[in-house]
Structure 1
Amino acid sequence: MGRRAVKKSASFVGVDSTKVASRGMPDKTVTDQKLSKKHDLTQPETSFVSKQVDPETAKYFSEIANVLESGEVDLEERSVICGNALEETRGKEVELATDHIISHTLQKLLEGCDVDHLCRFFQRCVKNFARIVTDRCGSHVAETALKSLAIHLQDEDFQYLIKETLNLICQAIVAKPVDVMCNCYGSHVLRSLLCLCKGVPLHSEFHAAKSSTILVQRLNLKKDIGAANDLPNIHRGFPDLLKLLVSEMLKCGVTDIAILQVDPYSSLVLQTALKLLAGQDQELLSVIPVILGCTKENTEEGNFIDINEVQNIRDLLKENAFSHLMEIILEVAPVTLYDEIFVKFFRNSLFEIACHQSANFVVQALISHAGCQSQMEAIWEELGPKFKDLLEIGRPGVIASLIAASQRLHSHEHKCSKALVAAICSANEPPKYVVPRILFLESYFCCKDKSNWSWTSKSKMHVMGTLILQLVFKYSSEYIQPYITSITSMESAHVLETAKDASGARVLEAFLSSTVLDKHKYKLVSKLKGHFGELCMHPSGSFTIEKCFSASNIPLREAIVCDLLAIQKELSKTKQGPVLMRNLDLYGYSKQPDQWRSRQESKLSVYKEFLATFSAQGGDSSKKKKKRRSFLADNLNKATQQSNLKKMRQEIHKSLASFTAQ
């Protein structure tokens, strides 16, 4: 779930839960079989030798560089100089673009010239474009030229000229797509070209996997986060060119699909293409089966997946590059294709696949994109009884994805909660151990004598363990009684240590924001009395203190403010201090404590009245809760409704502030 994109096929680095650990070498047998089917593309970037630039030309471009760097040239004159200099590259584009010194000058020329000279330069490079983009220096030149084209695309007068130029570049790419896709430099340029055709920024997140963004999306940790394909378009793009480029790349490389599937650089290209095609079901239904090695000739009518490829794909899931690719396939696949992939590739093999160090991330993606309760039921049947096994082999991400999916689909929530407790504690152990063991998940499961395991003081808490607890506290309170008992039974010193840990603090905040009864929240907050001053000096401590303050009654709020007043001078010098002091109204309390208490009572009264009216917590029947939850689930899927709810919350906070400001 938190893997990094690899840059060399010799070492794959990934993150499962809290630690960076090797995901292992690719399955050598599978890889060798794939690569031996066709030809070896291990070093396509060295397949040609660039000519040396003659001294006279080198001197000319050195002088041009000096002129541009002098700062004495105005914008209009600079454009003329850059255009004229680019004309001097005629017939020497490859040598100049791949020269490690002159290539830098060439980049400045491409940034400063007008669109006509830029397009003419591109058109002259078409014949040797693959050579240029697969070179270390040449790839930077090509990247700069594409960025310059993107800027000029904002002027509609140049749309046709640029489209014709891009069309020629696409033709040059598809002439030798495998060579470019499997090259570390060519792959990057090709991804920029795909983004340019789509109309999204070239420096967008399509270029590299954002593990934090993926994690947030999969675990529903932030409701208003957009999908990866929701980036604002910088121009209308050329959707026809995008579709043509993707289809032709796969058509020309169909015989080499075995290479494209396991190569890390081609995997990145295909991931980018799939993300850019997200939502275009017809295109995806055409492209994805080809990537999976399925052809129409060998596929049964009405299906997309060749049954003969099932075992091959299961083996490929163990490949680092392909597992990344499969995650994106599951993310963007139309519903009908997702269903077929689920049944043919994963059904009755989920646990086996989830055990693998690379393939388990694909299982996480599969669970995260499950679309109905029947799929959740099928997933639960295979993984529900295996929670303890998954934790023992270090696959907590699979469990986190399952818990998040149960919340999203409102299915198997209580079962997930009980299964996690059973995996952590034996039947005869009290529930007080549940939260500490999940906070230090790795430490607990690495302990040989688990019955004598104790709190690992001053150790960093397990990131995935804390994420699991954050998800658990989103459940209805009736499902999480063991967790409530456990967290409120923690010693004061342990609560303080949890609050000081960046990940642990999020667990406390999740508990204080949950539907748990107020008396349990008061019990937890009271364990921090006398330590709020110490806690607020931590960078993230102010957020925890504000959550404690919001969840507290008047006496506890007063205790928090008194703790902070004792270090008011030091607190005011910190980055977070002034904001915290203003939000808690420290100045008002220090001057007029009685009026401060009156304002706090008014705020609590209004807030409780609001909760009683709009929340499912105020003594509603079970039917009403389910009805309201169903209504919210249906409407929260709409972006407009999300925006309206956010505005409503802001208006409520403003109203509360104005109502109580006396």
Structure 2
Amino acid sequence: MGEEDRSYKKGRRKKSRSDAANSNKWVSGSEADGSFKARQHSKYETDSAPRKSVIRKQIDPETTKYFSEILNLFESKEVDMEERAVICGNALEETRGKEFELATDYIISHTLQSLLENCDVNHLCAFLQSCINDFPLIAMDRSGSHVAETAIRSLAKHLQDMEVYSLVEDTVTMICRVIIENLVDVMCNCYGSHVLRSLLSLCKGVALDSSEFHATKSSTVLAERLNFKASRSDRDASSHIHQGFPDLLKFLVSGMLNSTKKDIKTLRVDQYSSLVFQIALKFLVGYDEELLQMISILLGCNKEDFAEGNSIKSNVVQNIVRLVKETAFSHLMEVILEVAPEVLYNELLKKVFRSSLFELSSHHCGNFVVQALISHARDQEQMELMWEELGTKFKDILEMGRPGVIASLIAASQRLKTHEQKCCQALAAAVCSGDESPTCVVPRILFLDSYFSCEDKANWNWPRGVKIHVIGSLILQEVFRYHSRYIQPFITSIASMEADNILEAAKDTGGARVIESFLSSDATAKMKRRLIAKLRGHFAELSMHLSGSFTVEKCFTTSNMSLQEAIVAELLEVRSELSKTKQGPHLIRKLDVYGFAARPDQWRSRQASKLSAYNEFCATFGSGENKTSKNSGFLSDTSEKVSRPETIKQMRKEIADGLASSTPFLSKTAFKRKPKEAKERGKKYAKTSADDDVSERKKENQRKRIKMA
């Protein structure tokens, strides 16, 4: 979802003579590199405003020299801010009638961007209003698109000034109107599409470069689906940096729907127009009427079809199932499922995707739609419908190379608190047959591709030098967030891995995350220490790796006293080299390596105090079932029932803060430093309490006398 517009980014390459030459060959809105061809998209032209052919005029040498001098003046940094604003205003006045030619010139366009960033709002709006008829053509040009975006970004900076708000609103209104007249051409152009998305952002009131809405990275989407990051729908509107234009947003979207309705079949499978529709859908959350209208048009049905009890026509269902196998529409469908109201989501699940989930899971585009569908499930009933089709297909889905579907199912089961044990059993059975030892489960998931591409799976072994599978790593991280009673085969497997394999996994970023998630789980301290003990002798080596340093820190906080001392002793030998790395100073400070080197006995005492404090904290705030043991580590067997790992992390932070003076947390010794003061405070408190009691008795007697009278 949120496919990156790579061709747009290519427009930001370094200056060259060929680029400058190509910028002079711009004809009818198309570039010499063929990024947009008018003839190819002529069928998109609207009857109301057919696009005119424009031939780019040559820029005279005097104008070129003038803007070159301005650029040199700015680069010299000899001009203060006030003078710069005056120069920018004068220079923009010189662009009158030549805005299109200057904005689409590769060299001068950079100077023009600087002028628009530093000028006052009056000159900015005057420039845009002067070139308003050519704005769509500027937006569709490789160089001009950056000028258009700079102008939109500069407009956003002035929205806090209410004195000029109406001026900015009038200018934005003019831009929206001229864009609507040329909407389809702009949407289908790689540069114009980006400018249009920025215009929508301005109207919505969000940052133009906000990653929340623009070209969202697949890693961000995956983190949301696997519960590693809060979804956009659950977050507040922190990305809103200014007040937007809600009426203009509705006006622009309405114009978009009216202008594209007859060409929607083509537009919804176009790469660049799909990106525009995606961001428009996200911005319409909260405007139910407009949102449902857009979704119905994109899906090719009526809004009434989404009402509960109505039936979506069979031909529409078949068409949607076919469309989600198209790259551009599959991204679009993912966003539709993300923003769809509950009733609409339920209708799509039951009437469109039901009975097609496994088929779509096998498709290279459709499987992402299935992931989105699973990730946005609202309740256990919906999860049950999806489990009926996919629950027995874990092995088939993994063999087809679609592990993201499995990861989404596991994450959804955790979020909705349903099918947890079934998910774990199905995953273990997919990689380990009933007659095999469960010790092979974790290694096979770590190397999904290697295992499922192996013909002789029974004799598969840990592949040396092969990078750990990203989705396999994420699946295991999710698994170790389950309660230990569901994941015993996974706990047994990771704790039984050979020392060499554990070390190799710890050096890999994905493998290190799996080890850390296991150490953060509610597995027994004995199983955790079994794994940590296999890394003895290698902690110094691991600490030199950025990802490995986190594993070392996690091993330390999870270990008992003897293992902690062994870890610090190893780091002490490489403290000089470790201190020169990026992560070294933090690790040295966190584990108090220098304190161990200087005074080992005091270091042991501090660690014992921390352990005692943690046990006392658990005894005080934990459940009545928890009984701490004397020799347990920070994550002892008995402390596992206190809370989830996130809460334990908070506990540790509070404990660490309370140990700044090397006194146990919740210890009474901290109050014995000034016994005289404490004694005086005690006397004062006792006297005050006694006085209060006497006063209260007097008041009570007085009330009785009044009552009797």
Which of the five TM-score ranges fits, normalised by the shorter chain? 0.7 to 0.9
Alpha-carbon deviation of 1:541? Answer: 1.5
RMSD between aligned residues = 3.1
Q: How many residues align?
A: 617
Task: Please give the alpha-carbon distance, in whole angstroms, between the structure 2 residues aligned to 1:309 and 1:317.
Answer: 12
Task: Please give the alpha-carbon distance, in whole angstroms, between the structure 2 residues aligned to 1:224 and 1:554.
Answer: 40
- Residue identity opposite 2:81 in structure 1: L
Q: After superposition, where does 1:438-477 map in structure 2 within 5 Å?
A: 438-477=445-484
Alpha-carbon deviation of 1:298? Answer: 7.7
- More off after superposition, 510-519 vs 50-59: 50-59
Q: 1:155 to 1:307 in 2, by over 3 A?
A: farther
Alpha-carbon deviation of 1:344? Answer: 2.1
- Residue identity opposite 2:592 in structure 1: D
Alpha-carbon deviation of 1:303? Answer: 5.2
Alpha-carbon deviation of 1:273? Answer: 1.4
CA deviations 1:382-440 (Å, max 9, x no partner) are 11100000100100010001001100100001000000010001110010000111111
Alpha-carbon deviation of 1:275? Answer: 1.9
Contact 1:294 1:304 in 2 (8 A): no
- More off after superposition, 103-112 vs 422-431: 103-112
Contact 1:515 1:617 in 2 (8 A): no
Alignment partner of 1:529 out of 507, 531, 536 = 536
- Residue identity opposite 1:373 in structure 2: Q
Task: Please give the alpha-carbon distance, in whole angstroms, between the structure 1 residues aligned to 2:179 and 2:538.
Answer: 63
- Residue identity opposite 2:465 in structure 1: K
Contact 1:182 1:265 in 2 (8 A): yes
Task: Please give the alpha-carbon distance, in whole angstroms, between the structure 2 residues aligned to 1:617 and 1:346.
Answer: 48
Structure 2 residue runs of 5 or longer lacking an equivalent are 9-38, 628-642, 671-709
Q: After superposition, where does 1:39-188 map in structure 2 within 5 Å?
A: 39=43, 48-188=54-194
Contact 1:229 1:275 in 2 (8 A): no
Contact 2:4 2:217 in 1 (8 A): no
Alignment partner of 2:243 out of 215, 236, 251 = 236
| 1:221 counterpart residue number | 228
CA deviations 1:211-239 (Å, max 9, x no partner) are 22111111012469986774432211111
**Residue 436, structure 1, aligned to residue 452, structure 2:** no
| 1:595 counterpart residue number | 602
Identity %: 61
| 2:201 counterpart residue number | 195
Task: Please give the alpha-carbon distance, in whole angstroms, between the structure 1 residues aligned to 2:83 and 2:580.
Answer: 51
- More off after superposition, 53-62 vs 558-567: 53-62
| 2:411 counterpart residue number | 404
Question: What SS is found at the alignment partner of 1:528?
Answer: coil
- More off after superposition, 220-229 vs 279-288: 220-229
Task: Please give the alpha-carbon distance, in whole angstroms, between the structure 2 residues aligned to 1:84 and 1:302.
Answer: 64
- Residue identity opposite 1:439 in structure 2: L
Task: Please give the alpha-carbon distance, in whole angstroms, between the structure 2 residues aligned to 1:654 and 1:308.
Answer: 64
Alignment partner of 1:496 out of 503, 506, 509 = 503
Contact 2:612 2:664 in 1 (8 A): no
Alpha-carbon deviation of 1:96? Answer: 2.1
Contact 1:7 1:264 in 2 (8 A): no
Q: 1:59 to 1:595 in 2, by over 3 A?
A: closer
Larger Rg: 2
**Residue 505, structure 1, aligned to residue 538, structure 2:** no
Structure 1 residue runs of 5 or longer lacking an equivalent are 10-34, 621-631, 637-641
Task: Please give the alpha-carbon distance, in whole angstroms, between the structure 2 residues aligned to 1:288 and 1:241.
Answer: 19
Contact 1:197 1:242 in 2 (8 A): yes
Question: What SS is found at the alignment partner of 1:415?
Answer: helix
Contact 2:296 2:302 in 1 (8 A): yes
| 2:614 counterpart residue number | 607
- Residue identity opposite 1:275 in structure 2: K
Contact 1:406 1:413 in 2 (8 A): yes
Task: Please give the alpha-carbon distance, in whole angstroms, between the structure 2 residues aligned to 1:306 and 1:531.
Answer: 63
Task: Please give the alpha-carbon distance, in whole angstroms, between the structure 2 residues aligned to 1:613 and 1:386.
Answer: 46
Question: What SS is found at the alignment partner of 2:392?
Answer: helix
Task: Please give the alpha-carbon distance, in whole angstroms, between the structure 2 residues aligned to 1:277 and 1:616.
Answer: 46
Task: Please give the alpha-carbon distance, in whole angstroms, between the structure 2 residues aligned to 1:67 and 1:8.
Answer: 32
| 1:626 counterpart residue number | none
Contact 1:228 1:275 in 2 (8 A): no
Alpha-carbon deviation of 1:55? Answer: 4.0
- Residue identity opposite 1:327 in structure 2: E
Alpha-carbon deviation of 1:148? Answer: 1.2
Contact 1:317 1:359 in 2 (8 A): yes
- Residue identity opposite 1:181 in structure 2: M
Alpha-carbon deviation of 1:309? Answer: 1.7
Question: What SS is found at the alignment partner of 1:156?
Answer: coil
Alpha-carbon deviation of 1:360? Answer: 0.6
**Residue 655, structure 1, aligned to residue 661, structure 2:** no
- Residue identity opposite 2:352 in structure 1: F
Task: Please give the alpha-carbon distance, in whole angstroms, between the structure 2 residues aligned to 1:70 and 1:410.
Answer: 63
Task: Please give the alpha-carbon distance, in whole angstroms, between the structure 1 residues aligned to 2:307 and 2:340.
Answer: 19
Considering Cα pairs closer than 8 Å and 6+ residues apart, tell me whether 1 or 2 has the greater RCO: 1
Task: Please give the alpha-carbon distance, in whole angstroms, between the structure 1 residues aligned to 2:348 and 2:251.
Answer: 25
- More off after superposition, 105-114 vs 410-419: 105-114
Contact 1:79 1:113 in 2 (8 A): yes
- Residue identity opposite 2:182 in structure 1: K
Task: Please give the alpha-carbon distance, in whole angstroms, between the structure 1 residues aligned to 2:41 and 2:315.
Answer: 18
Q: 1:660 to 1:587 in 2, by over 3 A?
A: farther
TM-score in terms of structure 1 length: 0.87
| 2:590 counterpart residue number | 583
Task: Please give the alpha-carbon distance, in whole angstroms, between the structure 2 residues aligned to 1:233 and 1:299.
Answer: 31
